[in-house]
Chain A
């Protein structure tokens, strides 16, 4: 047996830190509450993570291209409110495409600001976070929106239906993950997203139209947000103006937990899915062991910090280093 030095352990922790931490969590939760490791609970976790997961898929594109999207939470509230409101006015068949179109417009707007005008994505999307919230409030007049006739519509299938025993939110998440995973890993567009995030100047020198790639990443993100809003609306059939509030940070946490670098150029859809599940399991575990819901906010923050630290540590191959 090779001797383990302190340095080796540091290296191992840095490289596989997230998975090790996750394993420790799982063992701990299972001891605390045997219900944790059951198929029922597993399905429960995946279902409750589906909305966050769908949004994380789109944000993965944005993050790999070297940008941020902090507007997804309030954009999701917007989509949810709009589709619920239009449902009663236009009927579901028209309401859904109309809501997608409006959400994509928001995405396009951000894409133009960040991609073509080259404004800082943190500033732009942070601004959009509150701007879109304002837009939603104006749209709804600040009131909760409910579908009047909850029984007489097929709208519930996206959030409450199931196909062969698998719930639709889970199916949508899996299908979208597969589709976007293939786009990112296998198409020329995906390749360009990595290039733009990895080294924007070199991408330009290679004839890649950077602005366009960034623009399309925000369109992808908006599409995912619209899908998430649809699931949310269909599940609850009625909503407050603030359903998506705070989700942007959880989404970002999931993406970073999966191992995408905030500097851009690395990450995959598969890793993001893993990140979403890890976050879901931890939050679910905390609930099962009886921690208060409010504590979760703090824990989520701790997880983000841990993830970012391990992200840097993995790059330099040790946990602490005198140089950055």
Chain B
């Protein structure tokens, strides 16, 4: 492959932020028609490198070379004009605009007098959406789409130009399996057209399925490039974190305690119906299902964000009514929400303040916030979760995606809840930290917490849960114990192929 001229080459890229050397002399080349994986721990510099390529950041040193010509990327539109398309890790769509407008933002087709040619816009968009096999149309308002569908719109933007290279930054973080299949088809189409693809993901199975080469970054430094066919998960992990990973399940055989949370016949409009389950202290219950199966909505109802239309919630055997997150927190419920940017964090606030936000009323020295106690909490969870930041004063918006997610997890763990609900807890988190967080969840259960894990990743629920509740279209189909569950019967249950059985 080395005799081909790369579509894109980076040479000695250095990028520093106050207190962080995010990229330290990184060189990399992407060949036409290859899928080039970029891997590394949270905060290793992957997104920053791609932002330099996409014209969002200017490098302090080093060069970007497109088809052997050095270029300066003055901004995202400039990069796009030069054939480099960037699909962001964090969604960057305009909620109020339609799908079509978002896809062609900044380059809407024009008629005479500069008027937008709506007919042409719709036709062009329709062609792209058909290729992506999505269920929404060109006129849908983007704010009305699910996160997964918004991600598909983001991907559609890559298909509007004759791209030389397309950068995908964790595109599958919020996609369902079916949507992933479509995405991979799109990628292989692009590949056939000779487009070079840079692909960032923390999911090993994807990396080994679709990529040709893997480059690894660690703490902003280039660790090397290997052919995917010549390595394995262990080898890549070793390059990423410099050690082997213990992936064994933490089989803590602790006694289960009393029922901490019981839900009877809970319904909420047409979001979910007649849901009943219980969680004991010391138990991890996994909720598995397709996106839209109603799992997040159940969590939101338990956390007081939605009012149930029927049914009862009991905590420690006593019926409770939860009208707001404030009530939920009072009763010792914590929720790690699925959308870290929208629901989990105040991006313009520093790390410490974000982490202690739900308990700021309780951390008091006289009338003031006890900042010493806050810093102690932050330090504790920074170490526990390995959060990479120059210090607590750093704005959360400046952290890498995975580190932001860790702040959200730390925020809710530090509340020491009775019932901990985590919704897609490891979205965007690297393999090493993922294993840490899984262990942590089991450890918390062992300490007597009741834990609910909602996840769309089957290995995750299989790995952490003692029992798995399979949901399909707003209903519980079946509950499995960890002994009886297999991949096959779980898939059957969440696709609605199996009717409810008593577990």
Contact = CB atoms under 8 A, between A and B. Distances in A.
A205 interface: yes
A208 to B, nearest CB: 7
B367 interface: yes
Interface in A293-324: 322-323
Q: Point out which of B305, B335, B337, B360 has the most chain A C-beta atoms below 10 A from its C-beta.
A: B360
Given A195-B346, A198-B346, A206 B353 contact: no
A203 B354 CA distance: 10
B326 A205 contact: no
B368 A186 contact: yes
A187 interface: yes
Interface in A154-188: 182, 186-188
Given A188-B361, A188-B364, A205 B343 contact: yes
A266 interface: yes
Contacts of A323: 75-77, 106
Interface residues of A, number: 23
A192 B348 contact: no
Q: Point out which of A194, A199, A203 has the most chain B C-beta atoms below 10 A from its C-beta.
A: A199
B342 A202 contact: yes
A191 B329 CA distance: 18
A14 B359 CA distance: 37
Interface residues of B, number: 32
Given A186-B369, A188-B369, A208 B357 contact: yes
Contacts of A35: none
A205 B325 contact: yes
Interface string A195-214: 10011011111111100000
Contacts of B325: 204-207
Q: Point out which of A203, A207, A265 has the most chain B C-beta atoms below 10 A from its C-beta.
A: A207
B75 A322 contact: yes
B109 interface: no
Contacts of A206: 325, 357-358, 411
Nearest to A266: B348
Contacts of B326: 207-209
B345 A199 contact: yes
A296 to B, nearest CB: 34
Interface of A: 182, 186-188, 191-192, 194-195, 198-199, 201-209, 265-266, 322-323
Interface of B: 75-77, 106, 303, 305, 324-326, 328-329, 335, 337, 342-349, 353, 357-358, 360-361, 363-364, 367-369, 411
Given A188-B360, A188-B363, A205-B335, 15 more contacts: A187-B369, A188-B361, A191-B369, A194-B353, A195-B357, A198-B346, A199-B346, A201-B343, A205-B344, A207-B325, A207-B358, A265-B346, A265-B348, A266-B348, A323-B77
6 interchain residue pairs of minimum CB distance: A198-B346, A207-B329, A206-B358, A199-B346, A206-B357, A188-B360
